[in-house]
A and B are shown apart, each in its own frame.
Chain A
């Protein structure tokens, strides 16, 4: 029988603020971080975004440290420190040094990459900074979290577009369940506001210049965000032994690949991921109280996700509270899925369901309860967090109230 896995620490830095308290306060108030964005003036069509406010890296790192930290790594380390502190883990303790570090990211060290290409191709410089590789490599955040927190167990980066955070969390869960480790620091970070990435998102034509209105008739696409979400996972035995506070239990996961279209979501793939998660958790569909939806507010995702929920839950679908917190923290790519699991754990802990903000009227094809605009007090025993990424990579996590 596999070991039970608990969430004992949470850390977020996002468009909603520099810490988890600011994140949760904004979520429960239904307050969106999406604001006008003009970093690249008129050359980029994207005009709204959720950037981390009032963020000065110098407040967290020395100049020497910053020479090795891409922006996405900075956000990862800050959130990881917050999660570790929240869990009451002490730096240097043996159990902490043997923990795992698994950090997902959708786009990795793009700030470093693009600055380098600008130097070479645009400025025609003949050399680049010697630390470009370790700073910008896709595993940089995992290395930096491990380095800054002194975590010496299994450590690696992981990528699956928007599901990167969920997959990192699931990997940590699986390693604890199997007994490889007792503690894991897992999550994801993304900092996508670079010129090249924004021009690329412009070209894909799925980003709104209004705001993020998941499941609404007048939705016009997703809105980009940045940030990091990190969680401390522990075996039940280890958490009990040190008297750790438990936010929730991770009780199951479901992962599928659509093996179909590179961008268009697949109802079957989504539905199978949810069914697999329920089966893995040993939970009947009618016991799910809350779904934190992928809910990107694109035309395709919201309808497909609604259809998938209908297929999996049948009549019970109408009884489930469903919200997309991307309406508030926006779509921080791989980091979103980790932020959303933090939000789901907090929802269980506090018995409050964050709303789908910016809500106007439902799309006719989206006919479920999306908790429009105002948070809802409700005891949550079982919650599901959905992540359905580009490339058809689906990851669903189920949390259960503990004890």
Chain B
């Protein structure tokens, strides 16, 4: 499941609890600052074989935003 895969990545980077990563959770609340954010984006790009352009990064503030971007991509490998 995509949420689980995303949550695993976030937990690895933010060292937060798996159960705290819910779709509506704000990334900043999970301790994802600017440096952790670009590391998280790198891991997401690698895991899902997608490219996340710089221009949309300001709009990614919640876990749902990540899931939406993944849904919109045509290159997801599940």
Contacts and interface: CB of A to CB of B under 8 A. Distances in A.
Q: Do A and B bind each other?
A: yes
Interface of A: 45, 203-205, 220-221, 261-264, 300
B35 to A, nearest CB: 6
A211 to B, nearest CB: 15
Most buried by B among A204, A205, A264, A300: A205
A261 B35 contact: yes
B57 interface: yes
B38 A203 contact: yes
Most buried by A among B33, B35, B41, B54: B54
Nearest to A209: B54
Contact of A300 (B34, B42, B54, B57): B34
A34 to B, nearest CB: 17
Nearest to B42: A203
Contacts of A220: 54
A205 B54 contact: yes
Nearest to B41: A205
A357 B54 CA distance: 24
A78 to B, nearest CB: 34
A220 B54 CA distance: 10
Nearest to B37: A205
A350 to B, nearest CB: 38
A196 to B, nearest CB: 16
Interface string B31-62: 00111001001100000000000100100000
Given A204-B38, A264-B33, A264-B34, 9 more contacts: A203-B38, A203-B42, A205-B38, A205-B41, A205-B54, A220-B54, A221-B54, A261-B35, A262-B35
B13 to A, nearest CB: 15
B47 to A, nearest CB: 15
Contacts of B33: 261, 264
Nearest to B35: A263
Interface of B: 33-35, 38, 41-42, 54, 57
B78 to A, nearest CB: 25
A263 B36 CA distance: 11
A205 B41 CA distance: 10
17 contacts: A45-B54, A203-B38, A203-B42, A204-B38, A205-B38, A205-B41, A205-B54, A205-B57, A220-B54, A221-B54, A261-B35, A262-B35, A263-B34, A263-B35, A264-B34, A264-B35, A300-B34
Contacts of A205: 38, 41, 54, 57
Contacts of B42: 203
Nearest to A300: B34
Contacts of B34: 263-264, 300
A205 B35 CA distance: 10
Contacts of A264: 33-35
A282 B54 CA distance: 44
Nearest to A220: B54
A361 to B, nearest CB: 18
A203 B54 CA distance: 10
A263 to B, nearest CB: 6
Nearest to B34: A264
Contacts of B57: 205
A262 B34 CA distance: 11
A4 B54 CA distance: 48
A287 B64 CA distance: 52
Contacts of A45: 54
Contacts of A204: 38
Contacts of A300: 34
A45 B57 CA distance: 15
Listed from nearest, the 7 A-B pairs whose CB atoms lie closest are A205-B54, A205-B38, A263-B35, A264-B34, A203-B42, A204-B38, A262-B35
Contacts of B54: 45, 205, 220-221
B43 to A, nearest CB: 12
B74 to A, nearest CB: 19
B21 to A, nearest CB: 22
Nearest to B55: A220
